[in-house]
Amino acid sequence: MASHDIPAVPQTDEQVPEAVVPRSFWLNRAFGLLWSGQTVSLLGSHITGSAIPFIAIMLLGATPLQVGLLSLFASLPTLLFSLPIGAWVDRLPRRPMLVLADMGRGLLLLSLPIAVLFGQISLFQLLLVAFLTSTLTICFDTAYQAFLPQVVRHAQLVEGNSKLGTSESLAEVAGPPLAGVLIQWLSAPLAVFFDALSFLFSALSIGLIHSGEIELVPVVEERASLWEDMRSGLRILFSYPLLRTLAIYDTLKAFCAGVFALYAIFVLRDLHLSPVLYGILIAVGGVSALIGSFLAPALIQRYGARRALLYGLIVDKLTALATPLAFGGPSLAFALLALAQMGDIGYALFSINEISLRQQQIPAHQLGRVNAAINFLVNGIGPLGALLAGLLAEVIGVRYTLLCGVCAMMLNAAWLAVVLWRQK
């Protein structure tokens, strides 16, 4: 049997009768609740993404190694749980899973400002909350991708994903600057408090979706074992040459990018920039990614998939060295760091193209397991890179650790560029 003819593992899927779903997005109450809840929680998540490292650095005086451990604990669940969660999502009702995941994340984050209020905050609690919220995030994200087709018509999937993607980009633009303002004017724990409320709001929004709006039609089929479901995603992914090459590149890149667990320490402690400027830097990356997202369809159509991948790769890495080489006063350092963030134009172009290639080449009934496999490889290796970065920074310093990581990422990109150039 050819590698591309791997038999699909039968799935128990659930779909919405077309009559249940309104033809217009603006009349689709279920999608509106899902979209609004997710938009608010995304904004909160981008606030917390800055606030928790700030708690560790500013309140607990965390060392580079401890910040690396925090990143490790936040990413470790991906390595441990992404494959089994991906298999279980198809076995359990998705809406209750989304609600419980949001409620769990909200309550866990709420424990941090309460601990600070009573003077009991510790690194152990930060590590535990990072680990558990990350686990629940994997549950939510995996179920969420499978839930969208249950609240919109098949022909509306692209538009639905586009709206949700816009919310993600806008949250990345608005969240970090808002986090910087909240942290500087109020405090990091209060910023986390707002994120906790955002998750509880999302849980309420999704919980308000009526079962009649997502009336499920179960398809009863014989199912393979959980273990076989977990393994099949990796096997299917590596049976496609181009996707296999991209997966290897993404995995190596994720390992090298572990050095960016030290980014907050470098910006705040070494370059002495304020939390507000830190937030604006992240927002510059969000705006750049938004520009790349808008340009991607036209560029892919004009130049083709492989050349668009190559161009995105070049733009992404063109300014990468500006981060570890940033120096001088706040204005000059900020300008160099902002220049590096503009490379996200190329990152967005590359990512959208890669996801589209995956969706085009892999049959729809296999995409869930393959996406879980990608998540396992890419996000699972990141914690090891973050831990190594923390150890290395203790020896050679934060700046030189960032320089080593960025140079390794550029070598990895050069390898992929040669492969794409030969195959174009």
Q: What is the pLDDT of residues 48-64, one digit of tens each?
A: 666 777 788 877 888 87
Q: What pLDDT digit, counting tens, does each position of 120-173 carry?
A: 889 999 999 989 998 998 888 877 766 776 776 665 654 666 666 677 777 777
Q: Measure the CA–CA gap between 66 and 389, rounded to whole angstroms.
A: 11
Q: Which residue has the tokens 């308000």?
A: 208
Burial 204-216 (b: 16+ CB within 10 A, else e): ebbbebeeebbeb
Token couple for 342: 């503009």
Strands 14-15 and 217-218: antiparallel
Q: What is the pLDDT of residue 4?
A: 37
With a cut of 80, say whether residue 19 has pLDDT above it: no
Residues 260-270 have pLDDT tens digits of 988 988 998 88
- The sign of the dihedral angle between the CA atoms of 72, 78, 81, 85 is positive
How would residue 81 be classed by pLDDT, with cut points 50, 70 and 90?
Answer: confident
CB burial of 175-189 (b: ≥16 within 10 Å; e: otherwise) equals: bbbbbbebbbeebbb
Asked if residues 34 and 150 have their Cβ atoms less than 8 Å apart, the reply is: no
- Per-residue pLDDT, averaged over 344-357, amounts to 82
Instruction: Report residue 162 as tokens.
Output: 């586009």
Average pLDDT, the chain: 79
**Tokens of residue 24, six digits:** 């217009």
Residue of 141 and 336 predicted with greater confidence: 336
Rounded CA-CA distance 423/92 in Å is: 42
What is the predicted pLDDT for the residue at 226? 64
Distance, in Å, from the CA atom of 273 to the CA atom of 81, rounded to the nearest integer, reads 37
Q: How far apart are CA 347 and CA 266, in angstroms?
A: 22
Separation between Cα atoms, residue 200 and residue 37, nearest integer Å: 9
pLDDT digits (tens, 9 = 90+) for 374-423: 888 887 788 788 889 989 998 999 999 999 999 999 999 999 999 888 87
Q: Do residues 137 and 2 lie in contact, with contact meaning Cβ atoms separated by under 8 Å?
A: no
pLDDT of 14 reads: 42
What the chain holds in terms of domains, given with CATH numbers, is: 12-223 (1.20.1250.20), 227-424 (1.20.1250.20)
The pLDDT value recorded for residue 293 is 78
pLDDT for 402: 94
Which residues, in sequence order, are CB contacts of 339 under 8 Å at separation 6+?
A: 319, 322
Task: Please say whether the beta carbons of 237 and 367 come within 8 A.
Answer: no
For residue 225, what are its two tokens? 């074992």
Q: What is the pLDDT of residue 155?
A: 58
Please report the pLDDT score of residue 201 as a whole number.
Answer: 92
Per the model's pLDDT, the better-predicted residue between 124 and 301 turns out to be 124
CB atoms within 10 A of CB 203: 23
The pLDDT value recorded for residue 413 is 93
Check: CB of residue 262 under 8 Å from CB of residue 398. yes
Amino acid letter for position 43? L
Rounded to the nearest 5 percent, the helix, strand and coil shares of the chain are 85, 0, 15
Residue 145 near residue 89, CB atoms below 8 Å: no
Note the pLDDT of residue 348: 83
